[in-house]
């Protein structure tokens, strides 16, 4: 389930630098998340980093884009092919994930 930003966004920009995948960018009206890059922070954090800093808590799971943990982890590993530590966490099945809290 990719995270998405609702129209409550006030364009503060706080979320953009927090994303481990650079999935967030400034859109024409509100900030946007690219679902092809969002991993719900699986592999890096046990929570969505964007939502954690959002002053209006408008970074929410997208019910139209449901994904399981494995898909999200695989995407993280693919996006960070050079990240040996992430790969090691994935192989050991010991990685931060919002699904494991
Ligand atoms: S949930 Fe995580 S990976 Fe997805 S956009 Fe937010 S910070 Fe980036
Ligand atoms: S932190 Fe929240 S309000 Fe600020 S730009 Fe990101 S989604 Fe919008």
Q: Is the CB of 49 under 6 A from ligand 1?
A: yes
How far apart are alpha carbons 14 and 28 in whole angstroms?
A: 17
Q: Does a structural domain hold residue 28?
A: yes
Residues 40-95 pLDDT 10s: 999 999 999 999 999 999 999 999 999 999 999 999 999 999 999 999 999 999 99
- Structural domain span for residue 92: 3-96
46 CA from centroid of ligand 1 (Å): 11
Helix (H) or strand (E) holding 89: helix 84-91
For a substitution probing ligand 1, which of 16, 18, 20, 23 has the most ligand atoms within 8 Å of its CB? Answer: 23
Q: Does a structural domain hold residue 101?
A: no
Residues 80-101 pLDDT 10s: 999 999 999 999 999 999 999 8
CATH number, domain with residue 73:
3.30.70.20
Q: What is the pTM of this model?
A: 0.95
Q: How large is the average pLDDT for residues 29-45?
A: 97
* pLDDT for residue 1 is more than 70: no
Q: Does a structural domain hold residue 69?
A: yes
Q: What is the number of the ligand closest to the CA of 5?
A: 2
Nearest to 70 by CA among 50, 46, 85, 90: 90
Q: How large is the average pLDDT for residues 19-40?
A: 97
């Amino acid at each position: 389930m990719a995270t998405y930003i609702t129209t409550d966004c006030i364009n503060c920009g706080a979320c953009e630098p927090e994303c481990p995948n650079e999935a967030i960018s400034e859109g024409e009206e509100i900030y946007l998340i690219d679902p092809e890059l969002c991993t719900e922070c699986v592999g890096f954090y046990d929570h969505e980093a964007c939502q954690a800093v959002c002053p209006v808590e408008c970074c929410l799971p997208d019910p139209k884009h449901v994904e399981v943990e494995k898909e999200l982890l695989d995407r993280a590993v693919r996006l960070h092919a050079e990240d040996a530590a992430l790969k090691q966490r994935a192989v050991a099945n010991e990685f931060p994930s919002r699904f494991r809290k």
